[in-house]
């Protein structure tokens, strides 16, 4: 019952921010990432007092960058040590320097083209630098991230979130469903994506009901 209430509250928060308070679409991905981090932290710690998005920075893009990294780690292989290149890029991301982080990651993927996490970080920084837009370079980076880690859901989740941020609700929902359908049973973040898809469906149903009224 507690989990049901948590999921309903998260769905309501997303729906209220996106459709009632008219939060800018470019911020949807970061808001979804913050909700994801909070839900996953609740699952791990079983504590409703757990902060939703801890950060050692204060305000603006720096907070957004920290939240983005935390969300990526929840979906990526956070059990392994991060590469030197990724640590360097993450330090730039945490300061909100998304363009500089993307430049560093472009050099990194040239040297390590099979590293899915480098491609994912590159895609997310490109989206953040474009203020939430899924640009062709970001799309390509998401495709490479997915190809380098088949059966995982990270690329599909964040690509779908970027689509939602652009107002492409049906496309974003379809992308999440596709990623979930192709995911391995033990894929990192699979349960979180399944829960988030249910939240999105609830938000869309609520929006549809309001439109009908």
The CATH superfamily of 2-212 is Tetratricopeptide repeat domain (1.25.40.10)
Q: Which residues in the chain come in under a pLDDT of 50?
A: 1-9, 20-21, 37, 40-59
- Rounded Cα distance, 61 and 16, in Å: 22
Sign of the Cα pseudo-torsion (49, 38, 199, 169, in order): positive
What is the domain partition of the chain in residue ranges?
2-212
Q: Which distant-in-sequence residues (6+ apart) come within 8 Å of 57 by Cβ?
A: 63, 65, 66, 94, 95
**Which pLDDT does position 139 carry in this prediction?**
96
- Rounded Cα distance, 139 and 135, in Å: 6
- Rounded Cα distance, 89 and 111, in Å: 15
Q: Which of 92, 120, 91, 89 is nearest to 105 (CA)?
A: 89
pTM: predicted TM-score of the whole model, two decimal places: 0.71
**Which pLDDT does position 30 carry in this prediction?**
55
The H or E element containing residue 120 is helix 116-129
**Which pLDDT does position 167 carry in this prediction?**
83
Q: Which distant-in-sequence residues (6+ apart) come within 8 Å of 154 by Cβ?
A: 72, 75, 76, 116, 120, 145, 188, 189
Say if residues 120 and 76 touch (Cβ distance below 8 Å). yes
Say if residues 148 and 115 touch (Cβ distance below 8 Å). yes
The H or E element containing residue 101 is helix 98-111
């Amino acid at each position: 019952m507690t989990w049901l209430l948590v999921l309903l509250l998260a769905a309501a928060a997303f729906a209220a921010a996106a459709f009632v308070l008219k939060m800018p679409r470019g911020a949807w991905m970061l808001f979804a990432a913050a909700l994801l981090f909070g839900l996953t932290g609740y699952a791990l710690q079983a504590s409703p007092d757990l902060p939703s998005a801890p950060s050692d920075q204060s305000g603006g893009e720096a907070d957004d960058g920290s939240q983005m990294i935390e969300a990526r780690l929840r979906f990526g292989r956070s059990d392994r040590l991060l590469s030197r290149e990724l640590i360097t890029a993450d330090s730039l991301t945490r300061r909100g320097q998304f363009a500089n982080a993307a430049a560093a990651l472009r050099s990194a993927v040239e040297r390590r083209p099979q590293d899915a996490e480098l491609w994912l970080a590159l895609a997310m920084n490109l989206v953040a630098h474009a203020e939430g837009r899924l640009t062709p370079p970001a799309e390509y980076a998401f495709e490479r991230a997915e190809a380098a880690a088949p059966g995982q859901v990270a690329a599909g989740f964040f690509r779908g979130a970027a689509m939602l941020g652009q107002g492409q609700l049906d496309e974003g929902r379809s992308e999440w469903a596709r990623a979930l359908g192709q995911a391995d049973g033990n894929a990192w973040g699979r349960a979180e994506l399944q829960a988030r898809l249910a939240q999105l469906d609830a938000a869309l149903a609520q929006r549809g009901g309001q439109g009908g009224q």
